[in-house]
Each structure stands twice: as structure tokens, then as C-alpha cells.
């Protein structure tokens, strides 16, 4: 790597003297989005997109020094020109574009290409080198249309309701939980949210993102994965991992619904294509597989060992 | 095929019995009889044997999906199930098949056995291209001989009885009875299965076995000991010996006709009165006592039974119940009546009447249970006096009260990945015990840990591998587990000189260090 290099605290840009989603406290951190594997407390100064400021504050603490920018606004940091571009993963989630000495690098953060009413849609950014996530970088991971998944959730919920059963839907927050809340049809019945979800709902609502009504006596409860089960409830989970039967069965869930804030295999390949990048670095568990595939298909690529993806469902 | 794939998915998705029964009823209402017959046959576990080697299947799937071999391997590692990996990897279907299950089974799946590779390949592509993901998954499971579904036969029977076309209910017992024996999945069979009354029962057909649950709670909770008939619990092959129409049939509990395997019992059958069915246990037996079950395994393993093995390992039927007498089903008669009738059958050296154990109190019975190991039995069977012979596994009238298994503390020394959905985890373990300061392999065990514990052990193995032989990882000897097992004997084939039966992990001894595990001397003392 040249514009970026790996140091003990994370990925560092020498030209601009900043870190990208560092995993230890640093002087200046650019944060792609407010998930705990990306936004860790303790750094002296943070930079993020305005839309993501409140979510970031919930992660790194009320007193953290957070500077914000608009999408595509260009900053000069040291000798580097830096701008943030929509990644479609969370409100304020961004890809980081870094330009220096005629070279353009894009650091993707987590991203997702399909429509999501709760955040600004992904935009491809042309570059020479693309550092991409690879959470679901295997061809067995291809997602159904989100609308299809939402319809399946609604059918399951309706059937439970007819059987007099509570539906408990596990979803990560912030992100998938709010995406589902915003999409579900309130005509079917009352929906409730576990406090672990509601704490983020407040932030979403506070910045004008519509999530729909919530009720005190719901027939569908959205809850964080791992929260206790109620008796006589049907349990399900939304996640990309639900694509695999074994993960659903290991968690002893009744149903698994495939919906993810991450790009599936076809979307990853499309996104990489659209950057026009000659060189690709792939992070996460399946980074090596993605890199090998790209190499075999005429790109320079390598896997990059990071601490992203830790603790993900 | 779509209906069947949906049923398979619905049964997979719920653990609730009522939901499963409802899914089955929905299926039976919608499926044509030819399909329903096949579905029932698969659901009760009569799945076809593997029809195609996995290597071929993988090769063709890789070609159809247009991925390199290594990427297929990565996918399989992530998914952990072969049939599922292929179903997820294939490109979206080109059409959606409306062809029914029986077409796919009769015209494509079964003929594959005798077809050449080109035909098999063509048929496979035809199926994959016409099926959606769910259908492909069920289809791949059938082709690989791995089709399994989380329903018991009892549950299928219950759903069939509940669904039976209105106007003429068919009792669950009748359906269970009709499902036994040999039959061909076809529309005619389905009609017979659901018919209000059956005139010409196949003469070979056994009765469904009544199976006992393990005793729950304290023995005293069963009430007065006088209400119970106590027998030893024999450790052999549960079987039904039937004499009808001048012919003899010996059925195992797995519903295999095993008459040919036991000529002694075929001869016994010839001496039974016409219209007799005896329930009992086939045991290797000599000089009035059972031989170790391992002897029986020697015999079962052989294709041809020579005179020598027949002389070395003779078998008897230890009879304990009578289900049919004089051609009449007597299962509703009280236990004592059936027992008395069984006792009156002419004595024969190959028919041993399972003795009734007498004890004046539960306390005395507990004492007598200590004789179990010496008698080579597993403990007691408790049968309620006055009870009928029921169908399937039921609580209440029969209980098995087994002796506690043996147990030792052993150290995890090797681990290898499991199969199917456990393929991405290290789940198959070899345990060692101390012999002169070294750990010698003692037993392999796969079961007994929770998913949580399996993940922990898996993580341990990955961090502490000290050597590899193929898929087998040698690990740092640190983790201690209590192994439980049922039987123990000397063996020249095992490095420890000892072989145990049904070893399993009883618990993880977090409290013990490897050097505190048991030694070979402790274990020899159990012999
Ligand atoms: Zn994320």
C-alpha cells in the first residue's frame, strides 16, 4: 500500500496524517459509520458525515470532538484531498476518497447497493485503488429483493397473529432494525421495539427519518439479537447470514429472513467494476476469496487483515 | 415438487409439533396421491440410497455455476452442507417446474442408478434449471441420500389420521400398521393407506413396536411396585417374529426383514402356531446366558453365515410379549393375559421367555439392579400391569430404567471437522487416557456437547493445533471431558487394549487439568 498503510492502531494515511476507522485511540480518525467495529471511543478528533454525527456520538461518547462534513465536500488534510461519499449502510455512512500526488484511493467502509429508505443511497466513486469490505464475498450470498423479504416477514407476522402468537424479530441496530421498521406495513398490526432498538430510533427520528408508529402492546417486537425469548413467541432474525440454513438452526430460530446492510456477491463485483480501480484490497473474513477471484479475473488484488467485522451478527 | 419442497422447508422451520402437523395436513390435502405416497415414504425415513458420488455432483455443479473449484470449496466451508451449497450456488432457474414429485423421483432420480454419466448429467441439469432454490435443496438431499427431516413416524401417522378424508376416519394405529412392512410408494398404496378398512392385509406385516421412554424422576413416583411387572432390559436386536400363512417373518425395529440372518429363528417360527406374533429381543446366547453384544456384531457383519459362526454365536429370541394369537390381534388385552398366553406356547430351545424379576419393594429392586452388568443387561423394563400393547414411543405404561453408564475423565488429543451442517466446526474428537506418563487414544466421541461448547472447543482446536494428519488435528492436551459409555471389553484392535460401546461426552470438566484425567489402570479395573 502506498497512500494507506497498516499501523498498530489501524489504517493510516501518511499524506494526510489521519486514520480510517482505527481500532485504537489516535489523534485524528475518519469514521465511515457508527458501528462498534468501526467507531471506537478514545480518539482526540473524529471526522464524519453530518448525517452520521448523532449515531457516532452514541458510540464514542457525548464529549468526543466530532467535526462533520457534507457528502462530497472536499477537505485538505495535510497534503491529501479528502471527501466522503454515500455508502448506503447507515445514516451518514461513507466511503472515503483520498487524493494525493495524482493517485485516488477509495476506502469503502461497509456498503450496500439496494434502496434503503433510512439512508442516502450508495454512489460509486472512480479511483485507482479500492479498499473494499468483503463480509459476504462468496457467490452463495446473493440477496432477494428487499421488498420480497419484507413481504415474507409480513406473511410470517400475519400467520403468528392469527395463531395468537407474538412475533419476535431479531435485528442489529442501528441499521437493519430501522430499515425493517421503516418498511413494515402498519395495517397488519401494532409493532413494538425493544429499548436496545429504541435508543437508536430516537436518533433516527431526531434527524427526520420516518420509522413509523410504535405501540405498547405489539404483535411484532423488534429486538436486538440475543435478547431473552418470550414464551409462546415465534422467533426470527434478519441478517445476511440467514442465507445459510445452519446459522438459523444453530440459533434455534423459527425463521430467518435475508436482509443485509452489506453488499452481496453480485453487488460487490458490480461496485468494484464501477470504481474502475486497477487495484483492490479486500478486508473481512472472505477478503481472501474475493481477492483471489479478482486476480483470476484480471485485476490486481490482495486480502487485507483488519479488525473490521468483529462482533458482527 | 414445489409442494414437497415447501413442506420440507416448513417442517425445517418450526420445532412446534402442531405447526408440523398442520404443514403435513396442508401437504396431504394438496398433493396428488402418487406424490403423497412418495412423501410419506421419505418422511418416515425410507430415503433412497445415494445415487451419485459427491465428486461427480460437485463437478457438475461447479461447471453449471461457473465458479472455480477452490471457490466451491470456500462456499462449502461457509455453508457446511453439500446439498445446500449447490442449491445456493447455481444460477437462478430458467423456468419453474410444474412437474410433480413422483415424476422427478420415478423418471429421473431412481433411473439415475442405472444410467450412464451423460444421461445423469443431462437429467441433473434439467432438474437444476427447472427448480427454484428450495426445490433444488430437497432434490440435492434426495440425490445424495441425505434427506432427513425433523419429524417422527408418530407425527406423520398423527397427521395422516387427522387428515384422513372426512366421513371415514382411520385410526392412527391402523395407519401405523399399514405403514410397516414392504410397500411400493404409488397411488394404489396411498389409497390403501387412507382406505376406511383394509381387507387383505399383507401376511408379512408386523405390528408397530411399542417403545419405552427412559424413566423420569424417582422410581417411587410410579406408585406401588405391585402394579408393575419388571423384566430385565436386554441388549440385543428388538424384533418381531411372525408366523402367518405357513410362513415365518422376522422384523427388526428398523423395519427390516431379517429372517434370513437368523436361521435358528426361522426354524423356531415353523414350530409356532399359525397366526402368531411375538415381540422380543434377538440375543447371542449360550449356556443359558447372553454372550457379549460384540459377538453378535461379528455375526451381523458377515454376508455368509458358515456353520462355524452359527455354532460360536447362536442366537435365541428372548420373548416378552404376544401381539397376535390364533390370527387375532390381541394387543388390547391386558399385559398379564398376553404374558400367560405367551407362556403357553410350546417350549423351544430358541425361544427364551424373558423372566419376570420379583422384588418386594423399590428398595429391593434397586439392589437387584446391581446384577445388571453381570447379567449383561442394561437395567430394567417396567411394564404396568393391565396395560395394552401400545403403538410407538409412549409415556406411562412402559418405562426403561437403565443402569448408570460407566464414566471416565479423558483428555482431548485429536479433533476433526464434522459432517453436514457441522462441517465447518471441529466436532469429532478423540480422547486419550494416561498410560505410563503418555496419553494413549482411548475413545472417539461426537455427541453430548451443547452448540455453545462445540464452538468453544472449535476455537480451542484452531488456536492449539500442534500437528495435522489430513483432516485430523492433534491438539495441545489441555481439555478434560467426562466420557460416559455403556460397555467395556478388551480389544487387540485398540491401542489402549480396550474398546467401549456408545462413548459420549457427559460433561466438560473445566475443573480438571489434563494430568488429573484417568489412567489406564483405573479403566482396567472396570473390566
Ligand atoms: Zn457496519
* CA gap A120, A72 in Å, rounded: 12
Mark whether A115 and A197 lie in a shared domain.
no
Kindly list the residues from chain A whose CB atom is less than 8 angstroms away from the CB atom of residue B13.
Answer: 254-255
Q: Do A293 and B88 touch (CB under 8 A)?
A: no
Mark whether A174 and A71 lie in a shared domain.
no
**Poorest-pLDDT segment among B3-7, B327-331, B398-402, B504-508:** B504-508
B406-526: what fold? OB fold (Dihydrolipoamide Acetyltransferase, E2P) (2.40.50)
Taking the CA of residue B147 and the nearest CA in chain A, the distance in Å comes to: 15
The residues near A148 (Cβ < 8 Å, ≥ 6 apart) are none
Q: Do B75 and A139 touch (CB under 8 A)?
A: yes
The answer to the question of residue A312 being in a domain is no
Q: What was the pLDDT predicted at B453?
A: 86
| Per-residue pLDDT tens over the stretch B270-307 | 999 989 999 999 999 998 899 877 778 778 777 778 88
Q: Do B70 and A292 touch (CB under 8 A)?
A: yes
Architecture of domain B210-402: 2-Layer Sandwich (3.30)
Site of grid cell 434455534: A252
Q: What was the pLDDT predicted at A311?
A: 54
Nearest to B515 by CA among B444, B407, B406, B409: B409
**How are beta strands B377-384 and B228-234 bridged, if at all?**
antiparallel
Mark whether A128 and A115 lie in a shared domain.
yes
Q: Do B80 and A138 touch (CB under 8 A)?
A: no
Mark whether A284 and A223 lie in a shared domain.
no
Kindly list the residues from chain B whose CB atom is less than 8 angstroms away from the CB atom of residue A258.
Answer: none
The answer to the question of residue A112 being in a domain is yes
Taking the CA of residue A260 and the nearest CA in chain B, the distance in Å comes to: 17
**Poorest-pLDDT segment among A129-143, A202-216, B97-111, B477-491:** B477-491
Task: Find the A17 Cα to ligand 1 centroid distance in Å.
Answer: 24
The answer to the question of residue A313 being in a domain is no
Residue B197 has pLDDT above 60, yes or no: no
* CA gap B247, B253 in Å, rounded: 20
Domain coordinates in residue numbering, chain B: 2-144, 210-402, 406-526
User: Is residue A244 within 8 angstroms of chain B, CB to CB?
Assistant: yes
Q: Residue A264: which pLDDT band, with cuts at 50, 70 and 90?
A: very high
Q: Do A139 and B65 touch (CB under 8 A)?
A: yes
The residues near A264 (Cβ < 8 Å, ≥ 6 apart) are A136, A141, A142, A143, A240
Q: Give me the number of domains chain A comprises.
A: 2
Mark whether A230 and A270 lie in a shared domain.
no
* CA gap A275, A85 in Å, rounded: 13
Mutate to test the interface with A, among B74, B133, B427, B458 (most CBs of A within 10 A): B74
**Poorest-pLDDT segment among A84-98, A230-244, A258-272:** A230-244
Mutate to test the interface with B, among A138, A156, A255, A309 (most CBs of B within 10 A): A138
Taking the CA of residue B299 and the nearest CA in chain A, the distance in Å comes to: 39
- Where is pLDDT greater, at B224 or B525? B224
| Per-residue pLDDT tens over the stretch B110-149 | 999 888 999 999 999 999 999 999 999 999 999 988 888 8
Compute the average pLDDT of residues B54-81.
Answer: 93
Mark whether A106 and A175 lie in a shared domain.
no
The residues near A206 (Cβ < 8 Å, ≥ 6 apart) are A54
Q: What was the pLDDT predicted at B474?
A: 93
The answer to the question of residue A308 being in a domain is no
Out of A257, A279, A294, pick the residue that ends a domain.
Answer: A257
DSSP A228: P
Q: What is the CA radius of gyration of chain B?
A: 26
Q: Residue A156: which pLDDT band, with cuts at 50, 70 and 90?
A: very high
The answer to the question of residue A269 being in a domain is yes
Range of the domain at A113: 4-140+262-303
Task: Find the A90 Cα to ligand 1 centroid distance in Å.
Answer: 8
Mark whether A68 and A111 lie in a shared domain.
yes
Q: What was the pLDDT predicted at A313?
A: 41
Taking the CA of residue B30 and the nearest CA in chain A, the distance in Å comes to: 19
Q: Do A246 and B81 touch (CB under 8 A)?
A: yes
Q: Are A85 and A97 in contact (CB under 8 A)?
A: yes
SS3 state at A48:
strand
Q: Residue A310: which pLDDT band, with cuts at 50, 70 and 90?
A: low
Mark whether A81 and A173 lie in a shared domain.
no
**Please, what's the b/e burial string for B385-406 (b: 16 or more CB within 10 A of its CB; e: otherwise)?**
eebbbbbbeeeebbbebbbebb
Q: Do A139 and B78 touch (CB under 8 A)?
A: no
The answer to the question of residue A311 being in a domain is no
Please give the C-alpha separations between residue B114 and each of A81, B46, B73, B209, B265, in angstroms, as whole numbers: 68, 20, 29, 35, 36
Q: Residue B175: which pLDDT band, with cuts at 50, 70 and 90?
A: confident
* CA gap A164, B18 in Å, rounded: 14
Mark whether A130 and A222 lie in a shared domain.
no
**Poorest-pLDDT segment among A193-202, B160-169, B242-251, B284-293:** B160-169
CATH superfamily entry for domain B2-144: DNA ligase, ATP-dependent, N-terminal domain (1.10.3260.10)
Mark whether A98 and A165 lie in a shared domain.
no
407-426 of B, contacting A, C-beta below 8 A: 421, 424
Please give the C-alpha separations between residue B288 and each of A275, B284, B487, in angstroms, as whole numbers: 83, 10, 21
B174, B175, B181, B187 alpha-carbon torsion, rounded to 10°: 130
Residue B511 has pLDDT above 90, yes or no: no
* CA gap A232, A229 in Å, rounded: 9
The chain B residue lying nearest A248, using CA atoms, is: B13
* CA gap A141, A242 in Å, rounded: 10
Q: What was the pLDDT predicted at B198?
A: 47
- Where is pLDDT greater, at A15 or B522? A15
Mark whether A116 and A202 lie in a shared domain.
no
Residue A64 belongs to domain with CATH number: 3.60.15.10
Angle (deg, nearest 10), helices B172-179 and B187-194? 150
Site of grid cell 466511503: A95
The answer to the question of residue A309 being in a domain is no
Task: Find the B13 Cα to ligand 1 centroid distance in Å.
Answer: 28
The answer to the question of residue A133 being in a domain is yes
Q: What was the pLDDT predicted at B503?
A: 87
Task: Find the B120 Cα to ligand 1 centroid distance in Å.
Answer: 45
* CA gap B98, B32 in Å, rounded: 13
Q: Residue A177: which pLDDT band, with cuts at 50, 70 and 90?
A: very high
The residues near B224 (Cβ < 8 Å, ≥ 6 apart) are none
Compute the average pLDDT of residues A75-101.
Answer: 97
The residues near A12 (Cβ < 8 Å, ≥ 6 apart) are A4, A5, A6, A18, A19, A20, A22
Mark whether A47 and A112 lie in a shared domain.
yes
The reply to whether the predicted model has a pTM over 0.90 is: no
- State the ipTM, two decimals: 0.93
Q: Residue B353: which pLDDT band, with cuts at 50, 70 and 90?
A: very high
Q: Do B78 and A244 touch (CB under 8 A)?
A: yes
Amino acid at each position: 500500500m502506498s497512500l494507506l498503510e497498516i499501523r498498530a492502531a489501524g489504517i493510516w494515511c501518511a499524506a494526510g496524517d489521519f486514520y480510517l476507522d482505527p481500532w485504537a485511540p489516535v489523534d485524528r480518525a475518519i469514521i465511515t459509520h457508527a458501528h462498534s467495529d468501526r467507531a471506537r471511543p478514545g480518539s482526540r478528533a473524529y471526522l464524519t458525515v453530518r448525517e452520521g454525527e448523532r449515531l457516532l456520538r452514541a458510540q464514542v461518547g457525548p464529549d468526543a470532538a466530532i467535526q462533520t462534513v457534507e457528502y462530497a465536500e472536499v477537505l485538505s488534510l495535510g497534503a491529501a484531498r479528502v471527501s466522503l461519499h454515500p455508502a448506503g449502510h447507515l445514516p451518514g455512512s461513507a466511503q472515503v476518497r483520498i487524493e494525493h500526488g495524482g493517485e485516488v484511493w477509495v476506502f469503502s467502509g461497509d456498503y450496500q447497493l439496494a434502496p434503503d429508505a433510512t439512508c442516502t443511497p450508495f454512489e460509486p466513486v472512480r479511483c485507482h485503488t479500492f479498499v473494499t469490505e468483503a463480509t459476504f464475498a462468496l457467490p452463495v450470498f446473493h440477496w432477494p429483493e428487499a421488498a420480497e423479504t419484507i413481504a415474507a416477514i409480513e406473511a410470517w407476522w400475519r400467520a403468528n397473529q392469527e395463531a395468537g402468537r407474538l412475533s419476535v424479530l431479531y435485528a442489529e441496530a442501528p441499521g437493519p432494525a430501522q430499515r425493517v421498521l421503516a418498511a413494515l406495513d402498519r395495517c397488519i398490526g401494532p409493532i413494538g421495539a425493544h429499548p436496545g432498538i429504541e435508543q437508536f430510533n430516537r436518533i433516527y427520528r431526531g434527524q427526520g427519518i420516518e420509522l413509523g408508529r410504535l405501540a405498547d402492546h405489539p404483535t411484532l417486537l423488534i429486538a436486538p439479537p440475543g435478547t431473552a425469548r418470550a414464551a409462546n413467541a415465534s422467533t426470527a432474525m434478519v441478517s445476511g447470514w440467514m442465507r445459510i440454513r445452519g446459522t438459523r438452526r444453530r440459533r434455534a430460530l423459527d425463521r430467518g429472513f435475508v436482509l443485509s446492510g452489506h453488499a452481496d456477491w453480485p453487488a460487490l463485483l458490480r461496485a468494484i467494476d464501477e470504481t474502475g480501480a486497477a487495484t483492490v484490497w479486500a478486508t473481512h473474513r472472505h477478503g481472501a476469496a474475493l481477492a483471489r477471484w479478482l486476480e483470476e479475473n484480471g485485476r490486481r488484488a490482495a486480502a487485507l487483515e483488519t479488525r473490521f467485522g468483529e462482533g458482527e451478527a | 415438487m414445489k409442494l414437497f419442497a415447501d413442506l420440507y422447508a416448513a417442517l425445517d422451520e418450526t420445532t412446534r409439533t402442531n405447526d408440523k402437523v398442520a404443514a403435513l395436513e396442508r401437504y396431504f390435502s394438496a398433493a396428488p396421491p402418487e406424490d403423497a405416497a412418495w412423501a410419506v415414504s421419505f418422511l418416515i425415513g425410507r430415503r433412497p440410497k445415494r445415487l451419485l458420488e459427491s465428486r461427480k455432483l460437485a463437478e457438475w455443479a461447479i461447471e453449471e455455476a461457473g465458479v472455480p473449484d477452490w471457490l466451491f470449496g470456500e462456499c462449502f466451508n461457509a455453508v457446511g452442507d453439500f446439498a445446500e451449497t449447490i442449491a445456493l450456488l447455481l444460477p437462478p432457474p430458467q423456468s419453474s417446474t410444474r412437474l410433480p414429485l413422483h415424476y422427478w423421483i420415478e423418471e429421473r432420480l431412481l433411473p439415475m442408478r442405472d444410467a450412464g454419466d451423460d444421461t445423469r448429467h443431462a437429467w441433473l441439469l434439467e432438474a437444476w434449471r427447472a427448480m427454484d432454490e428450495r426445490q433444488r435443496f430437497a432434490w440435492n438431499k434426495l440425490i445424495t441420500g441425505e434427506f432427513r427431516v425433523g419429524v417422527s413416524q408418530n407425527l406423520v401417522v398423527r397427521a395422516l389420521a387427522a387428515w384422513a378424508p372426512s366421513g371415514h376416519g382411520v385410526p392412527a394405529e391402523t395407519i401405523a400398521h399399514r405403514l410397516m412392512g414392504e410397500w411400493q410408494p404409488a397411488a394404489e398404496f396411498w389409497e390403501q393407506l387412507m382406505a376406511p378398512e383394509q381387507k387383505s392385509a399383507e401376511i408379512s406385516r408386523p405390528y408397530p413396536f411399542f417403545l419405552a421412554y427412559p424413566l423420569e424422576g424417582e422410581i417411587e413416583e410410579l406408585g406401588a411396585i405391585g402394579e408393575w411387572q419388571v423384566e430385565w432390559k436386554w441388549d440385543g436386536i428388538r424384533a418381531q417374529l411372525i408366523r402367518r400363512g405357513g410362513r415365518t417373518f422376522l422384523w427388526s425395529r428398523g423395519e427390516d426383514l431379517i429372517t434370513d440372518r437368523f436361521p435358528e429363528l426361522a426354524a423356531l417360527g415353523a414350530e409356532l402356531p399359525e397366526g402368531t406374533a411375538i415381540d422380543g429381543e434377538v440375543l447371542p446366547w449360550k449356556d443359558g446366558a447372553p454372550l457379549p453384544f460384540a459377538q453378535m456384531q461379528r455375526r451381523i457383519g458377515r454376508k455368509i453365515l458358515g456353520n462355524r459362526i452359527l455354532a460360536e454365536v447362536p442366537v435365541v429370541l428372548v420373548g416378552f410379549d404376544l401381539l397376535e394369537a390364533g390370527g387375532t390381534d390381541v394387543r388390547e388385552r391386558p399385559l398379564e393375559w398376553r404374558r400367560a398366553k405367551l407362556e403357553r406356547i410350546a417350549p423351544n430351545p430358541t425361544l427364551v421367555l424373558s423372566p419376570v424379576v420379583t422384588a418386594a419393594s423399590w428398595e429391593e429392586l434397586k439392589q437387584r439392579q446391581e446384577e445388571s452388568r453381570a447379567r449383561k443387561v442394561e437395567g430394567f423394563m417396567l411394564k404396568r400391569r393391565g396395560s395394552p400393547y401400545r403403538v410407538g414411543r409412549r409415556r406411562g405404561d412402559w418405562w426403561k430404567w437403565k443402569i448408570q453408564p460407566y464414566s471416565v475423565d479423558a483428555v482431548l488429543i485429536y479433533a476433526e471437522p464434522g459432517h453436514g451442517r457441522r462441517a465447518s466446526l471441529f466436532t469429532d474428537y478423540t480422547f486419550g487416557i494416561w498410560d505410563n506418563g503418555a496419553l494413549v487414544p482411548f475413545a472417539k466421541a461426537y455427541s453430548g456437547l451443547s452448540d455453545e461448547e462445540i464452538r468453544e472447543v472449535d476455537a480451542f482446536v484452531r488456536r492449539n493445533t500442534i500437528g495435522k494428519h489430513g483432516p485430523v488435528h492433534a491438539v495441545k492436551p489441555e481439555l478434560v471431558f467426562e466420557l460416559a459409555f455403556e460397555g467395556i471389553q478388551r480389544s487387540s484392535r485398540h491401542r489402549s487394549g480396550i474398546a467401549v460401546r456408545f462413548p459420549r461426552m457427559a460433561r466438560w470438566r473445566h475443573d480438571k487439568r489434563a494430568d488429573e484425567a484417568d489412567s489406564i489402570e483405573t479403566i482396567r479395573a472396570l473390566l
